[in-house]
C-alpha cells in the first residue's frame, strides 16, 4: 500500500495546543487566555445541554463565575443523567497510597491505555486537574470511602499498577453526580441558572459562522422553541446506544452531537467504541439493555473458562487443572486487571473457540471462590455486596455460591465531536465536554477515567477556556427572534412531521434493534474490511426503509416516547454509516478498534504508527446531494512518550 510516511494536517483542525514543556503547558495556556471582566460576565448567556457530570459541573461553575446560564436535560430531573450509573470509581494522581503514583504516571497510563491515539497536551492537563477534582467533590459532601483514620481510601483499577481510584461503595458515579447536581441546584435556587428539564435539543443554530443557540422540543407539551445565547456547551454523553444493547441508559443518544455535526462540527474517531469486559450476558430476545458489573470486581474475581469446550461439569466441580484462567495466563503482570479492550477480546476469543459457558456458551466465569476462602465471605460482602445483589436479581443466580457469568458489552465511546485544547469544536462558540467529545482517551479509555474527564472539563477547563470565545471574538447580540432561528425551528418541525407521516408498519424500536445487531456483528469487538463494506450498504438500505416504514402512533403535542425515540434512531442510522467508514479507513488495530486483518501473530492489536497516528475527523460534505463526508486528519505528535507496543504481559 502506498501511503505517506507522515500524515498531513488539515488546516481546519488547529488543536491550539500550547508549546513548551508538557508540565507547564496548561499553566502557560491559562495565563495566555483572555479573561472576562466579572462585571461583564452576566451579560453573556451560556446554554449548557446535558446535566451529567460534565454538564452539571460546567453549568454550576460558570454560574458561580457570574455568567448567565441555561441548563437543559431530557430527563425529568438533572439528577438522573447517566453519569449516575458509574459504579467503580474516579482516578486521581494524589498518590495517597505512597505507591509511586504521580501526575506523570497517570498521564502515561492514560496515553498508553489509549493505545497512543490521544493528544499529549490534553491528557497531561487531565492528569493535573484530577487532583483538584477529588478536593472539590469532598468539599461538596461526596462521601468517599475512608480509612479508619478518616483519610481517603483507594482501590485498583484496570490498566494501572498503582491504587489511585477513589470510590463511594459501588455508587461512585451516583455520589459524584449528586454532588455536581447539588451545586447546580444551588445556582438554580439563586436564580443564576434557568433549568429546563424534559427538554430535548433538536438542532443547533449557527449565525455568521458562530453557534448562537439551540432549538428544543418540550417533551411534555411538544412545543418547539428556540433559545439564544453567546456560547453553546454540549455535555450530552456518548453514542453507545447505536448498538441498541449497551450499558447506557435507554435515553442516551447522539442527537444533540449529531445535529451539531450536521451544522458543521467535525466528528472524530467514531469507530473507537469501548466494549466493557464484565457485563451480565444477554438472556433473550426481549433484552432491552445490558448491565455492567463493575470492573472493581476483577480485583478479587478470577476470570476463567474450561480448558475444553465440551466440559459438562458444573463450575464448582471443575478442578483447577481443567480451568483456563486465560487472563492470568496471557497477561501475567496485569492478570485479571488487564485493560478493558484486551480483556474483552480475550473473552470473545475463548467463546469463539467454543469454550464459553452458560446456555448460549457466550459467557465466561468471574469466580470469587478463592477470594471468599482467602478473605472470608463477610469481607467480600462488604466490598461488593450491592453488586452481588444486583447480579442475583437479574440472573436469579447467587454469586457467593456459583461463579458469575459475564460477557463484554458496549459501554463507552471514545470518539465524539472533535474539539481543540479549549474544548471548542470546529463551529466557533460550540464547546463539547465529557464523553460527547473525542479528546482524552484515544482509542481506549481506562476504568475510572470517564468520571475524571467529565468533571475535569466542567469544573476546571471550561471556566477558563470559554473566555477564548467570549472575550476573544467580536460578535453582536442575537435573540431567538432572529430569522435563522425561525428557519431552523421550521426544519425541526418538518422533520418530526416527516417521521410521523411515514405511515409505515414498524416501531422505531424494532428498527433500532435491527441496526444494533448489524453494528454489533460488523462493527463491534472485531471488524474486517469486507464486513464493514457490507455493513455500510445494509445501514443505507435500512435507513431508507426506516423513513418509509416507521410507525409512530400518538400526536406531537403531548408526551410521546415513541416520537422521541424515532428522532434519535434516525440520527443513529446516519452515525452508524460514519462509524463503519471510519473503521474501514483505519487500516490498523488500536485500542477498542480491532481490525482482524491487522494483528500480531499472538492475536494482539497491531498499530500502524507510520500511517495512522492521527485523529480521523469527518466533515459533512456540503457539496454532495446525498449524505457524504470528507476525512480530515489531525496528526498526533508524541514528544514526551515513546510510541511502543502496548504490552500488559
Partner 1 sequence: MSSSHDTHAAHDAATSHGAHAEKKSMRLMLHVWRQRDPSAEGKFVTYKLDDVSPDMSFLEMLDVLNERLIAGGDEAIAFDHDCREGICGACSLTINGQPHGFESETTTCQIHMRRFEDGQTIYIEPFRANAFPVVKDLVVDRGAFDRIIAAGGFITARAGSAPDANALPVPQVAADAAMDAAACIGCGACVAACKNASAMLFVSAKVSHLALLPQGQAERNSRVLAMVEQMDKEGFGNCTNESECEAACPKGISVSNIARLNREYLRALASSD
Contact positions with partner 1 (CB under 8 A) in 575-634: none
Report d(CA 96, CA 106) in Å as an integer. Answer: 13
Q: Please, what's the largest Cα pairwise distance for the chain?
A: 74
Pick one of 29, 41, 79, 199: the residue that binds partner 1 (CB under 8 A): 79
Cβ atoms of 89 and 167 closer than 8 Å = yes
Closest approach of partner 1 to the CB of residue 143, in Å = 4
Rank residues 17 and 153 by Cβ distance to partner 1 and give the closer one: 153
Closest approach of partner 1 to the CB of residue 349, in Å = 20
**Residues 363-392, interacting with partner 1 (CB under 8 A):** 390
For residue 335, count CB atoms less than 10 angstroms from its CB and return exposed for 0-12, middle for 13-18, buried for 19 or more.
Answer: middle
Does position 358 interact with partner 1 (CB under 8 A)? The reply is yes
For residue 399, the tally of other CB atoms under 10 A from its CB is 24
**Residues 12-51, interacting with partner 1 (CB under 8 A):** none
CA 458 to chain CA mean position, Å = 15
**Residues 175-194, interacting with partner 1 (CB under 8 A):** 175, 178, 181-183, 185-186, 188-189
Rank residues 359 and 603 by Cβ distance to partner 1 and give the closer one: 359
Closest approach of partner 1 to the CB of residue 534, in Å = 28
Report d(CA 346, CA 344) in Å as an integer. Answer: 5
Residue-by-residue DSSP string for 246-304: SSS-TT--SHHHHHHHHTT--EE-TT-EEEEEEEPPP-STT-----B--GGGGGT-EEE
Report d(CA 585, CA 582) in Å as an integer. Answer: 5
Rank residues 168 and 615 by Cβ distance to partner 1 and give the closer one: 168
Does position 309 interact with partner 1 (CB under 8 A)? The reply is no
Closest approach of partner 1 to the CB of residue 238, in Å = 14
Pick one of 329, 554, 596, 649: the residue that binds partner 1 (CB under 8 A): 554
For residue 47, the tally of other CB atoms under 10 A from its CB is 27
Q: Which stretch binds partner 1 (CB under 8 A): 118-126, 170-178, 572-580, 638-646?
A: 170-178
Q: Which stretch binds partner 1 (CB under 8 A): 172-180, 207-215, 599-607, 625-633?
A: 172-180
Cβ atoms of 322 and 387 closer than 8 Å = no
Pick one of 288, 501, 623, 626: the residue that binds partner 1 (CB under 8 A): 288
**Residues 80-99, interacting with partner 1 (CB under 8 A):** 80, 82, 84-85, 94, 96
Per DSSP, helices labelled H in 66-119 are 103-113
Report d(CA 114, CA 591) in Å as an integer. Answer: 6
Among 81, 201, 92, CA closest to 460: 92
Does 340 qualify as catalytic in the annotation?
Answer: yes
Closest approach of partner 1 to the CB of residue 507, in Å = 4
Among 107, 109, 159, 173, CA closest to 298: 159
**Residues 446-475, interacting with partner 1 (CB under 8 A):** 459-460, 463
Closest approach of partner 1 to the CB of residue 226, in Å = 23
Give 321's contacts (C-beta < 8 A, 6+ positions apart). Answer: none
- Torsion sign (Cα): 416, 418, 422, 426: negative
Query: Which of 41, 105, 117, 340 is labelled catalytic?
Result: 340
Rank residues 333 and 558 by Cβ distance to partner 1 and give the closer one: 558
Does position 64 interact with partner 1 (CB under 8 A)? The reply is yes
Report d(CA 96, CA 350) in Å as an integer. Answer: 38
Pick one of 24, 76, 378, 597: the residue that binds partner 1 (CB under 8 A): 76
Q: Which stretch binds partner 1 (CB under 8 A): 53-61, 199-207, 267-275, 629-637?
A: 53-61
Rank residues 435 and 619 by Cβ distance to partner 1 and give the closer one: 435
**Residues 135-164, interacting with partner 1 (CB under 8 A):** 135-141, 143-152
Closest approach of partner 1 to the CB of residue 70, in Å = 15
Residue 204 pairs with which residues in a beta bridge?
Answer: 214
Number of residues in contact with partner 1, rule: CB under 8 A? Answer: 95
Pick one of 10, 36, 54, 60: the residue that binds partner 1 (CB under 8 A): 60
Closest approach of partner 1 to the CB of residue 150, in Å = 3
**Residues 394-453, interacting with partner 1 (CB under 8 A):** 394-398, 401-402, 405
Cβ atoms of 342 and 328 closer than 8 Å = no
Closest approach of partner 1 to the CB of residue 353, in Å = 16
Does position 393 interact with partner 1 (CB under 8 A)? The reply is yes
Cα–Cα separations (whole angstroms), residue 103 to 127, 392, 420, 451:
5, 39, 22, 17
* Residues with active-site annotation: 340
Amino acid at each position: 500500500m502506498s501511503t505517506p510516511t507522515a500524515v498531513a494536517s488539515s488546516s481546519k483542525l488547529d488543536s491550539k495546543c500550547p508549546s513548551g514543556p508538557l508540565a507547564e503547558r496548561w499553566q502557560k495556556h491559562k495565563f495566555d487566555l483572555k479573561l472576562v471582566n466579572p462585571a461583564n460576565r452576566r451579560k453573556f448567556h451560556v446554554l449548557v445541554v446535558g446535566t451529567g457530570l460534565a454538564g452539571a459541573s460546567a453549568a454550576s461553575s460558570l454560574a458561580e463565575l457570574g455568567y448567565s446560564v441555561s441548563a437543559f436535560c431530557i430527563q425529568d430531573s438533572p439528577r438522573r443523567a447517566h453519569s449516575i450509573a458509574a459504579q467503580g470509581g474516579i482516578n486521581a494522581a494524589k498518590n495517597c497510597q505512597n505507591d509511586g503514583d504521580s501526575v506523570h504516571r497517570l498521564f502515561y497510563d492514560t496515553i498508553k491505555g489509549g493505545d497512543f491515539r490521544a493528544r499529549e497536551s490534553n491528557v497531561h492537563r487531565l492528569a493535573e486537574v484530577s487532583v483538584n477534582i477529588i478536593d472539590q467533590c469532598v468539599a461538596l459532601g461526596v462521601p468517599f470511602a475512608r480509612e479508619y483514620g478518616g483519610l481517603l481510601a483507594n482501590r485498583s483499577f484496570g490498566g494501572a499498577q498503582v491504587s489511585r481510584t477513589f470510590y463511594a461503595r459501588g455508587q461512585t458515579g451516583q455520589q459524584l453526580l449528586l454532588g455536581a447536581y447539588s451545586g447546580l441546584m444551588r445556582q438554580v435556587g439563586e436564580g443564576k441558572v434557568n433549568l429546563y428539564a424534559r427538554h430535548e435539543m433538536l438542532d443547533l443554530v449557527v449565525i455568521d459562522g458562530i453557534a448562537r443557540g439551540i432549538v428544543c422540543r418540550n417533551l411534555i407539551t411538544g412545543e418547539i422553541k428556540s433559545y439564544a445565547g453567546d456560547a453553546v456547551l454540549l455535555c450530552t454523553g456518548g453514542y453507545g446506544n447505536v448498538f441498541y444493547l449497551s450499558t447506557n441508559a435507554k435515553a442516551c443518544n447522539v442527537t444533540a452531537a449529531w445535529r451539531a455535526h450536521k451544522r458543521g462540527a467535525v466528528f472524530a474517531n467514531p469507530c473507537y467504541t469501548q466494549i466493557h469486559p464484565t457485563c451480565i450476558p444477554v438472556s433473550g430476545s426481549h433484552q432491552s439493555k445490558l448491565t455492567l458489573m463493575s470492573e472493581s470486581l476483577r480485583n478479587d474475581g478470577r476470570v476463567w473458562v474450561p480448558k475444553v469446550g465440551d466440559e459438562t461439569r458444573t463450575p464448582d466441580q471443575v478442578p483447577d487443572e481443567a480451568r483456563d484462567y486465560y487472563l492470568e495466563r496471557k497477561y501475567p503482570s496485569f492478570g485479571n486487571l488487564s485493560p478493558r479492550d484486551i480483556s474483552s477480546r480475550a473473552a470473545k476469543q475463548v467463546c469463539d473457540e467454543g469454550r464459553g459457558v452458560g446456555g448460549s456458551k457466550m459467557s465466561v466465569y468471574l469466580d470469587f471462590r478463592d477470594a471468599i476462602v482467602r478473605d472470608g465471605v463477610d469481607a467480600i460482602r462488604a466490598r461488593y455486596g450491592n453488586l452481588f445483589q444486583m447480579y442475583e436479581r437479574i440472573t436469579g443466580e447467587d454469586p457467593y455460591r456459583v461463579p458469575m457469568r459475564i460477557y463484554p458489552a458496549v459501554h463507552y465511546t471514545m470518539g465524539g465531536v472533535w474539539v481543540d485544547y479549549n474544548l471548542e469544536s470546529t463551529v466557533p462558540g460550540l464547546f463539547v465536554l465529557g464523553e460527547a467529545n473525542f479528546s482524552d482517551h484515544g482509542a481506549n479509555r481506562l476504568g475510572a477515567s470517564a468520571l475524571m474527564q467529565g468533571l475535569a472539563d466542567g469544573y476546571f477547563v471550561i471556566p477558563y477556556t470559554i473566555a477564548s470565545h467570549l472575550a476573544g471574538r467580536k460578535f453582536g447580540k442575537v435573540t431567538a427572534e432572529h430569522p435563522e432561528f425561525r428557519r431552523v425551528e421550521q426544519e425541526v418541525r418538518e422533520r418530526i412531521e416527516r417521521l410521523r407521516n411515514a405511515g409505515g408498519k414498524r416501531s422505531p424500536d424494532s428498527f433500532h434493534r435491527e441496526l444494533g445487531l448489524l453494528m454489533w456483528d460488523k462493527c463491534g469487538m472485531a471488524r474486517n474490511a469486507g464486513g464493514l463494506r457490507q455493513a455500510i450498504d445494509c445501514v443505507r438500505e435500512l435507513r431508507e426503509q426506516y423513513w418509509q416504514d416507521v410507525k409512530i402512533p400518538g400526536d406531537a403535542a403531548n408526551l410521546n416516547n415513541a416520537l422521541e425515540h424515532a428522532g434519535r434512531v434516525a440520527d443513529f442510522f446516519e452515525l452508524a454509516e460514519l462509524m463503519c467508514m471510519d473503521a474501514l479507513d483505519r487500516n490498523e488495530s488500536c485500542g477498542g478498534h480491532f481490525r482482524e486483518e491487522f494483528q500480531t501473530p499472538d492475536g494482539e492489536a497491531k498499530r500502524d504508527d507510520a500511517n495512522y497516528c492521527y485523529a480521523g475527523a469527518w466533515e459533512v460534505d456540503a457539496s454532495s446531494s446525498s449524505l457524504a463526508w470528507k476525512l480530515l486528519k489531525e496528526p498526533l505528535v508524541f514528544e514526551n512518550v515513546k510510541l511502543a507496543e502496548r504490552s500488559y504481559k
